[in-house]
A and B are shown apart, each in its own frame.
Chain A
């Protein structure tokens, strides 16, 4: 069955450093992948979408890569700030016409001042 894995352990980094979060998937060939930010008790907020034919996508301090051979996406936040502290979810598109999106459990990022 399809499986998405994100680091369950929180990522602690110092302000100003680059945070890198990982999303791995198996038994899946998504056409695109999305990253969301979620704050406690609030709905996820869309950040970036990357398609299978795109290796990298950037938006301000955010960068996403998509390696369909490794079945992995990396999400980078450069010059991180305490306000970036949140849980980050990756989501894979419905494949095979199933129209059912699948979300990872998310990784908590904590940026220390």
Chain B
């Protein structure tokens, strides 16, 4: 158990819909990272937040957005969903920066039908 929790574990929805994925980092970790993993793309970095502020942006689509709240939990919002958004979404946390060990959550498996 990494100490990072993600909900829900599975999500099945239809194209065009909007969903919210939630992540609670390990106690004491200030950085939260979101990743998307699909069979053909591998693990793709989406976005990082540090202590409530966006720090880095990767291959995140404009239809996706995220935020980190004062209690440091984070949410990833995916809207206007397409079939190609079906993937595993992982959240990870670390103490401060990327040089620190990242602890990954169990992931949310999103299926868009």
User: Would you give 21 A-B contacts (Cβ < 8 Å), ordered by A?
Assistant: A31-B99, A41-B107, A41-B109, A42-B107, A43-B90, A44-B102, A44-B104, A45-B2, A45-B104, A46-B101, A49-B101, A94-B98, A98-B56, A99-B48, A99-B56, A99-B98, A100-B45, A100-B57, A103-B45, A105-B42, A106-B42
Interface 1/0 per residue, A25-53 and B, CB below 8 Å: 00000011010000001111110010000
Asked if B99 and A32 sit within 8 Å, CB to CB, the answer is: yes
Whether A99 touches B43, Cβ cut-off 8 Å, given contacts A45-B2, A94-B98, is no
Q: Pick from B2, B56, B102, B109: contact of A94, CB below 8 A.
A: B56
Taking Cβ atoms with an 8 Å cutoff, the residues of A that contact B are: 31-32, 34, 41-46, 49, 89, 93-94, 98-106
Ranked 8 nearest A-B pairs via Cβ: A43-B104, A99-B56, A105-B42, A103-B43, A46-B101, A100-B58, A44-B104, A43-B90
Is B72 engaged at the interface, CB distance under 8 Å to the other chain?
no
A89 CA / B102 CA spacing, docked (Å) = 13
Determine the interface band of chain B, counting residues with CB < 8 A from chain A: 20 to 34
What is the chain A residue whose CB lies nearest that of B43?
A103
Majority secondary structure, A binding face? loop
Q: Pick from A41, A43, A89, A106: contact of B92, CB below 8 A.
A: A43
Asked if A43 and B99 sit within 8 Å, CB to CB, the answer is: no
Asked if B101 and A44 sit within 8 Å, CB to CB, the answer is: no
Chain B's nearest CB lies how many Å from the CB of A108? 13
Chain B's nearest CB lies how many Å from the CB of A97? 10
Asked if B103 and A46 sit within 8 Å, CB to CB, the answer is: yes
Chain B's nearest CB lies how many Å from the CB of A28? 15
What is the chain B residue whose CB lies nearest that of A6?
B42
